[in-house]
Amino acid sequence: MPEPLLRTPSAQQVESWYVDSFEDMLKFQRASPESHILKQFSEAMDIILNRHSTVVETMANGVLEMKQDLQESGDIGPHVENCIQYFLDRFYMNRISIRMLIHQHLLLFTKQSSRKKNKQTIELIDTNCDIQSIVEDAYENARFLCEQYYSRAPDCAIECHSPFNVDGAQNGRITMTYVPSHLHHIMFELMKNALRAVIETHSTKIELPKVEVLICKGRKDMTIKLSDQGGGIRRSEVDQLFNYMYSTAPQPPSPDAADTTPIAGYGYGLPLSRLYAKYFNGNLWLNSVDGFGTDAMVCLKLLPRDASELLPVYNKTCLNKYIQSTQVNDWSDSSHGFGSKSNTNGYRM
């Protein structure tokens, strides 16, 4: 972990949780697979899962603490920001993977899941995941939150399109194999951003422009496009929206002091949503028209052979990312252009 972040109380709290969880797991390193031992292991996994439930908010608070410290000392710079971005991308991608494994274990090997078993559902993984239902649910949740803050919310119009695979649409619904909780997280964050932007841009209007969603199932990709008329984003700011140290909203209260879920403020919605999309080799990006609105594009892999898990690699090269200063890129460097296939975060599949 970068030293400026490690010094913050919140980051030290997160580190202590991981130390405790690691010690809990070591107890089972050479344990025999007897029924009572397996039960104890599942109970330990459940404790670990709950212990780390607020890691994102606590680490976000650590970044805010670090920013305050660095701004006071004047040490904040591009290299520090790049280090934090590199570390948090890898840290949160690992967290997504670990929590999925623990959830999957608990659902498969304990009686924690009370819902009816379905042949098309392998616990967390739904082989018949209804994309429109998840988008609708994410909208309703975001709308509820938006109405709490602004007393109203724009409507949402959803269109489905499946030109190449008629079997992919059942009764007009488009399905695929995916983890519903991951997709819900992505769409909920995008919906929150869209609703907030529309209301703040058209606050004086009686009728708000709708948020429009297009769901399209192609031959190899599932694409979800969410379009709003929220005023758009300047081109110079689009890339910053995926930066953990950048947010356009007021700073939220600390996780311990918050009575309600903040609609925005940590600056983690888009970066984390992109990681969830990338976890199975998908992606998320923004196209914006400054002065009009923004299109958020989510692309997911349909074919299992393309949807492999994406995880960080840990080796000496990673350490160099924290030591080397930021390099100035030449305009002709294709590795930093659109459509680049370069791997700057040290991920592996």
| Beta carbons of 131 and 175 less than 8 angstroms apart | yes
Selecting among 103, 182, 193, 212, the annotated active-site residue is 193
Query: What residue spans in the chain does CATH classification 3.30.565.10 cover?
Result: 121-301
| pTM: predicted TM-score of the whole model, two decimal places | 0.84
Cβ neighbours for 244, distance < 8 A, ≥ 6 positions apart: 60, 63, 84, 85, 88, 267, 268, 271
pLDDT at 136: 96
CATH topology assigned to domain 121-301: Heat Shock Protein 90 (3.30.565)
- Whether residue 192 lies in the annotated active site: yes
Local confidence band at 248 (pLDDT 50, 70, 90 cut-offs)? low
- How many angstroms separate the CA atoms of 126 and 219, rounded? 19
Selecting among 67, 103, 182, 185, the annotated active-site residue is 185
Distance, C-alpha 105 to centroid of its chain: 22
Q: Is the pLDDT of residue 173 over 60?
A: yes
Kindly report, residue by residue over 103-140, the tens digit of the pLDDT.
Answer: 999 988 886 544 444 445 556 889 899 999 999 999 99
Radius of gyration from C-alpha coordinates of the chain:
21
Pick from 163, 173, 161, 211: which is nearest to 191 by CA? 211
Mean pLDDT over 223-251 rounds to 85
- Whether residue 185 lies in the annotated active site: yes
Q: Is the pLDDT of residue 198 over 90?
A: yes
Pick from 307, 304, 306, 309: which is nearest to 349 by CA? 309
Mean pLDDT over 223-252 rounds to 84
Structure tokens at 271: 């970066």
pLDDT at 122: 56
Kindly report, residue by residue over 8-40, the tens digit of the pLDDT.
Answer: 999 999 999 999 999 999 999 999 989 899 999
Q: Is the pLDDT of residue 342 over 50?
A: no
Local confidence band at 339 (pLDDT 50, 70, 90 cut-offs)? very low
pLDDT at 43: 94
Lowest-pLDDT range of 166-180, 252-266, 278-292, 301-315: 252-266
- Whether residue 103 lies in the annotated active site: no
Query: What residue spans in the chain does CATH classification 1.20.140.20 cover?
Result: 3-114
Q: What is the mean pLDDT of the chain?
A: 83
Kindly report, residue by residue over 50-63, the tens digit of the pLDDT.
Answer: 999 999 999 999 98
Which class is domain 3-114?
mainly alpha
Cα 115 to Cα 66, 134, 144, distances in angstroms: 43, 18, 25
Local confidence band at 41 (pLDDT 50, 70, 90 cut-offs)? very high
Kindly report, residue by residue over 63-85, the tens digit of the pLDDT.
Answer: 889 888 887 776 666 777 888 88
Selecting among 67, 103, 192, 217, the annotated active-site residue is 192
Selecting among 65, 81, 189, 212, the annotated active-site residue is 189
In this structure, what DSSP letter does residue 339 have? T
